[in-house]
Copies of this chain bind each other. A is one copy, B any other.
Amino acid sequence: MKEKKSDIQPWETVDTEYLIQRPWLTARRDTLRMPDGKIVPEYYVLEYPTWVNIIAVTADERFVLVRQYRHALGIVEYELCAGTMDEADASPLEAAKRELLEETGYAGGEWTEFATLSANPTSMNNLNYTFIAKGVEKVSAQHLDETEEITVHLFTKDELLDLLRRDEMKQSLMVAPLWRYIAENHLL
Contact = CB atoms under 8 A, between A and B. Distances in A.
Interface of A: 1-3, 7-11, 19-20, 22, 24-25, 27, 29-30, 32, 34-36, 38, 40, 42-46, 67-77, 115-125, 127-128, 146-147, 149-151, 153-156, 159, 164, 167, 170-173, 175-176, 179-180, 182-184, 186-188
A71 B42 contact: no
A14 to B, nearest CB: 12
B71 A32 contact: yes
Contacts of A170: 116-118, 121, 127
A52 to B, nearest CB: 14
B10 A76 contact: yes
Contacts of A73: 118, 121, 124-125, 127
17 contacts: A2-B153, A8-B68, A8-B69, A8-B76, A9-B69, A19-B19, A24-B44, A40-B147, A71-B122, A73-B121, A73-B124, A75-B121, A117-B170, A117-B171, A118-B170, A120-B120, A179-B183
A26 B119 CA distance: 17
DSSP majority for the A interface?
mixed
Contacts of A116: 167, 170
A119 B125 CA distance: 14
Given A42-B22, A69-B8, A74-B10, A164 B180 contact: yes
Residue picked from A42, A121, A171, most chain B C-beta under 10 Å: A121
A150 B34 CA distance: 12
